[in-house]
């Protein structure tokens, strides 16, 4: 077992892989990550599948088998993706069982075209969850204003949810409350309320958005400062009376997941967002190149090293440099949704071209 990833795990951080390809499943890469690097879960998104399917010929044989069928290009994508997700979920099933269903999840996202469509998001979540047919799968739903009621309803129906495209403390709080309402609805109806959820808050895109627009000493500081406030909101959520009441009904509360933790700036540490966001009962979903870097030269810091006072001073400096934190958080969520749509459209067009 790798000593650096083992130490990270000992601090209470679950390490999830932010990538999946059929090749990684076939050649045993994901299995090795589980057994050698303490990886206990996996996430996917439209961009990841776009790179996996459109940028290689590894799926061509499976696509060619459907040249003459009437299945739509989107349905064919989900057939390919669900097969990969099922295989990954089976690999992580021992982790899921060992941790009593806390860990060992894999995530699959519904069509990003539905990010602002509440009713169709709910139906898509039902369909994909039913087709995957694994206990340790998360359905990824964006935490957009239209996504929040869909998240509440999906949780209320007993479907585990990975709430994605969160950026700020305010967005995290809204997503956590949507999940909580879904759990409370199940309690009121006398249903088993122990439905798993994670809230995925994106880190590195904050720093990428202000790169070159702030003084040098503020470069690569915004994401971590924002996450310090998110983490405080998370601690307040876990210690609240509402969460205490659902805990008394046998519920494991929603966990906080650090997403987009690959360093974008080549001049910065390649493990910046791993070593700086170490806190118990959190998840860090890590791209494979960042995971390998951490396994090679990992360091362990602590969220406690970044006080709220220090985070506030940093955010004040960003404001003085012309960065509107609240407006940027909303913009990042909108741009993140648009980026996934762009990847989705490229992916579906690539499948269409391959079939032709």
State the catalytic residues.
140
How many residues are recorded in the chain?
356
DSSP state of 268: S
Per DSSP, 304 falls in state G
- Burial group, residue 320, by CB count within 10 angstroms (0-12, 13-18, 19+): exposed
Neighbours of 21 (CB within 10 A): 22
CA 113, CA 284: separation in Å to the nearest integer? 26
Tokens of 192: 């088993």
Q: What stretches of 189-257 show up as alpha helix (H) in DSSP?
A: 204-210, 222-238, 241-247
Kindly write down the DSSP assignment for every residue of 132-196, as one continuous string.
Answer: H--TTEEEEEE-STTHHHHHHHHHHTT--EEEEEE-SHHHHHHHHHHHHHHHHHHHHTT------
What is the distance between the alpha carbons of residues 341 and 335, in angstroms, rounded to a whole number?
A: 10
Radius of gyration of the chain (CA): 20
Q: Are 203 and 223 in contact (CB under 8 A)?
A: yes
Sign of CA dihedral 39, 129, 191, 175: positive
172, 151 in Cβ contact below 8 A?
no
Cα dihedral 49, 50, 53, 57, rounded to 10, equals -140
Measuring CA to CA, which residue among 168, 107, 147 is closest to residue 311? 168
């Amino acid at each position: 077992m790798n000593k650096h990833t083992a130490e990270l795990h000992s601090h209470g951080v679950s390490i999830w892989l932010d990538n999946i390809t059929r090749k990684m499943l076939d050649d045993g890469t994901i299995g090795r990550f589980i057994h050698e690097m303490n990886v206990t879960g996996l996430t996917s998104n439209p961009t990841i599948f776009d790179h996996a399917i459109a940028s290689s010929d590894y799926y061509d044989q499976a696509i060619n088998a459907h040249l003459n069928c009437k299945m739509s290009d989107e349905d064919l994508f989900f057939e390919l993706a669900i097969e990969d997700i099922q295989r990954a979920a089976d690999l992580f099933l021992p982790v899921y069982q060992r941790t009593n269903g806390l860990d060992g999840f894999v995530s699959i996202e519904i069509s990003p075209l539905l990010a602002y469509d509440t009713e169709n998001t709910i139906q898509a979540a039902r369909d994909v969850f039913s087709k995957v047919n694994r206990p340790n799968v998360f359905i990824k739903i964006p935490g957009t204003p239209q996504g929040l009621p869909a998240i509440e309803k999906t949780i209320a129906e007993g479907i585990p949810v990975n709430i994605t495209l969160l950026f700020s403390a305010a967005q995290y709080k809204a997503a956590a409350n949507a999940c909580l309402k879904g759990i409370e609805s199940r309690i009121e109806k006398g249903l088993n309320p122990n439905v798993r959820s994670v809230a995925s808050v994106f880190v590195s895109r904050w720093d990428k958005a202000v790169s070159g627009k702030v003084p040098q000493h503020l470069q690569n500081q915004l994401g971590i400062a924002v996450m310090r406030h998110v983490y405080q909101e998370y601690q307040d959520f876990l210690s609240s009376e509402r969460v205490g009441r659902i805990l008394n009904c046998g519920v494991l509360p929603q966990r906080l997941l650090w997403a987009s933790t690959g360093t974008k700036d080549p001049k910065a540490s390649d493990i910046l967002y791993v070593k700086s966001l170490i806190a118990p009962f959190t998840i860090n979903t890590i791209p494979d190149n960042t995971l390998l870097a951490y396994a090679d030269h990992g360091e362990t810091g602590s969220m406690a090293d970044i006080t709220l006072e220090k985070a506030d001073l940093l955010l004040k400096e960003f404001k003085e440099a012309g960065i509107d934190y609240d407006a940027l958080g909303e913009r990042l969520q909108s741009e993140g949704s648009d980026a996934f749509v762009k990847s989705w459209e490229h992916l579906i067009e690539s499948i269409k071209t391959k079939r032709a």
